[in-house]
Amino acid sequence: MSEDHANCLFCRIARGQIPSRMVYEDEDLVVFHDIHPAAPIHLLIVPRRHFSSLIDAGPDDLALLGKMLLLAPRLALEQGATDGFRVVVNNGAGGGQEVFHSHFHVLGGPRPWRSMSPGR
């Protein structure tokens, strides 16, 4: 872990230095509930390794990104999203990203959902 990321919010959550409602952990990933949910089920799938967004991902991240996507349906279902779910990935300020440690949002559950548009 580089010193540069000592104060990164999601690095700190992944290291257990900031509490979260964790639902899944392995050597590569942590998954926890969003603190400000936009839907009844709102999870964040977060790699332990810090990279800012998909803009900074490369071929070495292929397996990790596939693992994140394949985990989404499993955890959505476990959390009660029985009729489908949505994956949202905001990339860069223009993409509405607010926490600059790459993550996938997994949203599900009964409507209404809050808008996730930038500048909400």
Q: Binding-site residue total for ligand 5GP (CB under 6 A)?
A: 12
- Concatenated DSSP letters for 20-55? --EEEE-SSEEEEE-SS-SSSEEEEEEESS---SGG
Which C-beta is closer to Zn ion: that of 42 or that of 103?
A: 103
Dihedral Cα 111, 112, 117, 120, nearest 10 deg? -160
Residue 36 interacts with ligand 5GP (CB under 6 A): yes or no: yes
Task: Compare residues 35 and 62 and give the one whose CB is closer to ligand 5GP.
Answer: 35
Candidates 22-30, 57-65, 70-78, 90-98; binding stretch for ligand 5GP (CB under 6 A): 90-98
12 is a contact residue toward Zn ion (CB under 5 A): no
